[in-house]
Amino acid sequence: MGFPDTRFNVNLSILFTELPLLERPAAARAAGFTAVELWWPWVDAPVPERAELDALRDALNDAGTRLVGLNFYAGQLPGPDRGALSVPGEESARFRANVPVAVEFARSLGCTTFNALYGNRVEGVDAAEQDRLALENLTYAARAVAEVNGTLLIEALNAPESPNCPIVSAPKAIEVVDAVNAATGLDNARFLMDLYHLSMNGEDLDEVIDRYTARTAHVQIADNPGRGAPGTGDLDLAGLLDRLLKAGYDGWVGLEYKPGDGPSAEAFGWLPADRRAAHS
């Protein structure tokens, strides 16, 4: 089965990472892609120097690549610092400092979709207090995003790779989405459906699609096992994307997979060249 008519974008924080950050947009464009997304690129700097922001903006514009999604600051990804929302003190302050910077940077590029990772449990701190802080910070982010008519995404990670993250199922992520929307009254929080993470959790992906597509504002894919390109594992990603389309999903599908042993430019053989450029 071929892949359905889907709007694909490339995540430049997991693909093309063999290149310096500022060279990745042009490399994605050379591979045929016109839309990209990013984790927050500066893992130690929630508020980087203006010159760094300007340089990345110029690189994206010069390459002719459209930014369609941006993570808020969450530390080192992938890795042990899986998010900052549930961490009291300094990390919470770093997340909050990043929000207006990230919103303005993305807005300047026409991007209004933002992913906020929930964060890891912290030993020795009451879980209820961590959840209270997480909701407070997510509410703060949702209100900031609303100022640019944007969407705040809530993502479920997977328990095997992120055992300390409390959001490791689609129903739990939807619970957080509902809590944020109830707290703000803005209804601008939505589900980020990452089919790789959900499959790692052993969830029924057909059921997830049928139940939650209407609540979903972004989709990400990688095959399982291995988090590689479609066709390297066992997931019927073509069938799953077809099911999503039939369920009414018409948004972006982010390619968030590892390129394997070769250069990233060689990791797209599963997708015909004429299907890579997105014009809407």
pLDDT at 191 over 70: yes
pLDDT tens-digit profile of 139-148? 999 999 999 9
Stronger pLDDT, 169 or 89, i.e. the higher one: 169
Cβ neighbours of residue 40 closer than 8 Å, sequence gap 6 or more: 46, 70, 71, 72, 73, 74, 98, 102
**Superfamily of structural domain 7-267:** Divalent-metal-dependent TIM barrel enzymes (3.20.20.150)
pLDDT at 242 over 70: yes
Tell me which residue of 233, 247, 232 sits closest to 191, measured CA to CA: 247
Q: Which long-range contacts (CB under 8 A, 24 or more apart) does 223-226 make?
A: 223/196, 223/257, 224/196, 224/199, 224/200, 226/258
Q: What is the reported pLDDT for 226?
A: 97
pLDDT at 87 over 70: no
Region 77-81: mean pLDDT is 55
Q: pTM for this structure?
A: 0.96
256 is annotated as an active-site residue: yes
Q: What is the mean pLDDT of the chain?
A: 94
- Chain centroid to CA 120: how far? 17
The band of 257, judged by pLDDT with boundaries at 50, 70 and 90, is very high
Rounded CA gap, 55 and 64, in Å?
14
Domain boundaries, the chain: 7-267
pLDDT tens-digit profile of 121-156? 888 889 999 999 999 999 999 999 999 999 999 999
Q: Which of 37, 91, 203, 256 is catalytic?
A: 256
Q: Which of 37, 91, 155, 203 is catalytic?
A: 155
pLDDT at 39 over 80: yes
90 is annotated as an active-site residue: no
Q: What is the reported pLDDT for 121?
A: 86
